[in-house]
Structure 1
């Protein structure tokens, strides 16, 4: 009943069309607007936004994407800078360390795929000042 009254007001008085698939009258905890949700009085990004973020990171760190690491890291930086710039107003910080770990692991997987042979892996890890004992454990 409330939605019907609001819709009448918007359509008749303000001469606006209402898209019923996108519009609803609900409490703030149930609404998502421009990728954000308000839960318990705090602004956070929506689950759909986080899922899309992860999908895009997977795409940019795909091991079969035949581009240089410099280009890959440049594109990854651009995407993450834009995402953080947009969703930076969020007050939801709990998953950030886990996302950071996950992204770092994905980048390490790209390097590991690039260094196909054990000798190459050994040389590259030595350049990064990794302990020889640790290198031998990795193989």
Structure 2
């Protein structure tokens, strides 16, 4: 490392940041927010999203889907779409399909919780579930006094607020946007 640093600083007259610079295997290094792994079938290195970058976007999603943030759900959907678009446009050159599926799952689950909280009263929840096509018996059980997280993972609520309904509401699917972003020709 010393000889490389010396060459860069003396011959090329560039400044080297010794905290960020190092020599190592590609699997040990992160560069511009990307990590690398070796794909044995293709016999080459591929880019992936490191845990730190994924945690960062998950933290943003949690903040935007906070139940105590009292804005309309359509505004939340718009803000989530901005974050997802920006994140995918940056990381789309890497292998992120499984990561976007995980991100989609978290976003939909947390968005269902926001909608559930906006309905507030058990009567309102019951009435809205019946409107969305849930049987009265299942709606009565779901509208009971369970916690938000528990109820929003039930089949009843997931069926009532299906992925298609959330999409109509304005919630962006990260996986679908990734497919569109990769197919675009510049």
Change (3 A) 1:134 1:90: farther
Instruction: Show the counterpart of 1:98.
Output: 102
- Normalising by structure 2, we get a TM-score of 0.69
1:28-49, CA deviations, whole angstroms, 9 ceiling, x for partnerless residues? Answer: 0011111111111221011111
Q: What is the CA distance between 1:124 and its match in structure 2?
A: 2.0
Larger mean CA deviation between 10-19 and 90-99 belongs to 90-99
Q: How many residue pairs get matched?
A: 137
Give 2:123's aligned residue.
119
The two structures, once aligned, show a CA RMSD in angstroms of 1.4
Structure 2 CA distance, aligned partners of 1:132 and 1:86?
A: 46
Aligned-pair CA distance for 1:57: 0.5
Query: Hey, what does 1:10 align to over in structure 2?
Result: 8
Q: Which runs of 5+ in 1 are unaligned?
A: none
- 1:74 aligns to what? 78
Mapped partners of 1:45, 1:117: distance in 2: 41
SS at match of 1:130: coil
Q: 1:88 maps to which residue?
A: 92
CA shift, 1:21, in A, is: 1.1
Matched, 1:132 2:152: no
Structure 1 CA distance for aligned equivalents of residues 140 and 49 of structure 2: 42
The reply on whether 1:20 has 2:8 as its aligned counterpart is: no
Give the secondary structure class of the aligned counterpart of 2:97. coil
Structure 2 counterpart of 1:39: 37
**CA positional deviation for 1:61:** 0.4
Aligned counterpart for 1:49 among listed residues 45, 53, 71: 53
Counterpart CA distance in 2 for 1:73 and 1:94 is 22
Which residue, 61, 68, 71 being the options, matches 2:65?
Answer: 61
Structure 1 residue 92 displacement after superposition: 3.7
Alpha-carbon distance between aligned partners in 1 of 2:7 and 2:134, rounded to the nearest angstrom: 68
